[in-house]
Amino acid sequence: MNIIWLGHSGFRIEIEGAVLLIDPWLTGNPMFPEARRAEAVAGATHLLVTHGHGDHAANALSIAREGNIPIACIHELSEWFERQGAPAIGFGKGGTVDVGGAKVTMVNASHSSSVDFKGGDPVPAGSETGFMIAGEGHTIYVSGDTDIMADMGWMGEYHAPDIGILACGGHYTMDMRRAAWVARKYFNFRTVIPCHYRTFPLLAQSAEELVAGLPGVEVIEPEVLAPIRIPANI
């Protein structure tokens, strides 16, 4: 398995027979080198979008149209994508879809969701979400934009993710200290990868507090387009 950061909350995850692009905001993302866009999207089989905000979903439509790649997301947002001419897989929280042998379950998040299309007023886009992605003997929790939730208690117990991709830059999401507390209280991660940070001055610029708060857990500060290789656990 390869987990590849695309900057901000975007990831490319190569797992089982799938190449997943998660919240692939590439154009205008200060962290992403746009000259390497083709590399980032090459061979993608599915897109996963946690919610409609532009720093997560802005490029999903163009990528999906170009490669006829389905966007898996909450039902209401999937209908919006389909009306714009993109293939989509709409499902709901608690639902699971098979993507190339990997199983993706939609879970709750605590944030908001809307789309701002061609400079118009924001349009409600269903509910914000996270994902549990199971494959190759691992389960990855992609938190999406969220704060601490009591739901994380049952999510950690039921899905038992060993890898956490946590949005924890603060201001719009939980910060590093809160994310460390969440990881200790509700989960038993072997590996934690922070995201939704470093993009703008408003957000946390390092994960030092996360590292300090998670002794014994491998906290990996990702570098854009540098693969994090995870051996299969089978």
pLDDT tens column, 65-121: 999 999 999 999 999 999 999 999 999 999 999 999 999 999 999 988 888 766 667
| Other Cβ atoms within 10 Å of 105 Cβ, number | 19
Give the model's pLDDT for residue 117: 62
How far from each other are the two terminal CA atoms of the chain, in whole angstroms? 12
Give the model's pLDDT for residue 181: 98
185-201 tens-digit pLDDT = 999 999 999 999 999 99
Q: Rounded to two decimals, what is the model's pTM?
A: 0.96
Q: Burial, 37: exposed, middle or buried (Cβ in 10 Å; 0-12, 13-18, 19+)?
A: middle
Q: How confident is the model at residue 122 (pLDDT cuts 50, 70, 90)?
A: confident
Evaluate whether 15 touches 136 at the Cβ level (below 8 Å). Answer: yes
Q: Is 5 strand, coil or helix?
A: strand
Evaluate whether 164 touches 196 at the Cβ level (below 8 Å). Answer: no
Q: Distance (Å, rounded) from C-alpha 166 to C-alpha 213?
A: 14
Q: Which residues of 125-159 are buried (b: 16+ CB within 10 A; e: fewer)?
A: bbbbbbbbbbbbebbbbbbbbbbebebbeebbeeb
Is residue 28 predicted with pLDDT exceeding 90?
A: yes
Is residue 127 predicted with pLDDT exceeding 90?
A: no
Q: Distance (Å, rounded) from C-alpha 186 to C-alpha 4?
A: 25
Is residue 123 predicted with pLDDT exceeding 80?
A: no
Average pLDDT over residues 121-150: 92
Q: Flag the least confident range among 43-47, 51-55, 128-132, 223-227.
A: 51-55
Average pLDDT over residues 33-52: 96
Which 8-state DSSP code applies to residue 168? -
